[in-house]
Amino acid sequence: MSSDEDEGWVPFSRRPGWSDVVPIPQDDGPNPVVPIAYRDEFRETMDYFRAVYFANERSYRSLQLTSEAIKINPGNYTVWHFRRLIIDSLNVDLWEELEYVDEIASSNSKNYQIWHHRRWLAEKLGTGSANKELEFTKKILALDAKNYHAWSHRQWVLQAFGGWEDELDYCCQLLDDDIFNNSAWNQRYFVITRSPLLGGLQGTRESEGRYAVEAILKNPENESPWRYLRGLYKGDPDLLVGASLVSEVCLKVLQTSHNCIFALCLLLDLLSHGLQPCTELRTAVQRLSSEMELPDASLPGTVCSILERMDPMRSNYWAWRRSNLPCQAS
């Protein structure tokens, strides 16, 4: 007895409801270079699937066959595609199909085909599926907070159906759990720039700037809030330079933290766009320069030299930045 039969699987060739179907074997050509030793269950399931697929048989038994084919290979695009054709033809209950996808996704949460199928279902169900889809992505993200497919689907749902009201609070919750969760930072930026309820960057820049600064001061080595802070001024370097909280957070980190790479990176960009540094900023940079026994240079040049030492992985880049500084940089 085969292992498949031990598990309770009955070959299609022994099922009365399939006696009229002639299976179509896979054609690997007369002399396959590396023939694959498929399990009997896989081989026979796909042989019968090919038979109903080429016959375009859109029946309930074909629907059940796709379930079995998906179970053994959830990534088979053709099987999922044919399943959608069958669902359309038979007017299958889409809510039941969504429950089916829930079960499959629980152990295949990074499968492209499953997420594509789920979006297809949500599009057909319309706004009534929004809450279920948002809750479903929450469930997936609770297991894997950086699951790209779940985030992508969640963003699509928000834009297609709404549900923005609690999304910023959800981002806060995720960041309270893990302030280093760059996916949650990305979602937060998505919300403030896309939500119709918040007024865009102009309406949130001040409060979000304070939020980012607070996160930076707690963990200066966390790159995400630094990137987030920059994003609040995206496309407007003059506004970035003119924002006192930006230069102030650079100063606080330079004065209090040994890990100040991100503060120096931001400071260099501020200087490159015309920031006139205060005495305290100059003093903080000069202190680091003296500790490293670096030669005297302009303030931007000194920042580049410090970064060459502190950030050896990108030392060539910082050297290039230093060599491209304007001569009049002070």
Question: Where in the sequence numbering do the catalytic residues fall?
Answer: 110
Tell me how far CA of residue 188 lies from CA of 154, 183, 235, 252, in angstroms: 12, 9, 18, 25
Give the number of other CB atoms < 10 A from CB of residue 110.
Answer: 13
**Cα separation, 241 vs 34, whole angstroms:** 62
Tokens standing for residue 236: 């407007």
Tokens standing for residue 23: 């299976």
**Cα separation, 232 vs 213, whole angstroms:** 12
The burial class, CB within 10 Å (0-12 / 13-18 / 19+), for 58 is middle
Tokens standing for residue 98: 């969504």
> Residues 266, 269, 274, 277: what is their CA dihedral angle, to the nearest 10 degrees?
30
Give the number of other CB atoms < 10 A from CB of residue 17.
Answer: 9
CB 174 within 8 A of CB 145: yes
> Residues 304, 305, 311, 315: what is their CA dihedral angle, to the nearest 10 degrees?
90
CB 136 within 8 A of CB 117: no
**Cα separation, 330 vs 328, whole angstroms:** 6
DSSP state of 31: S
CB 143 within 8 A of CB 136: no
DSSP state of 34: S
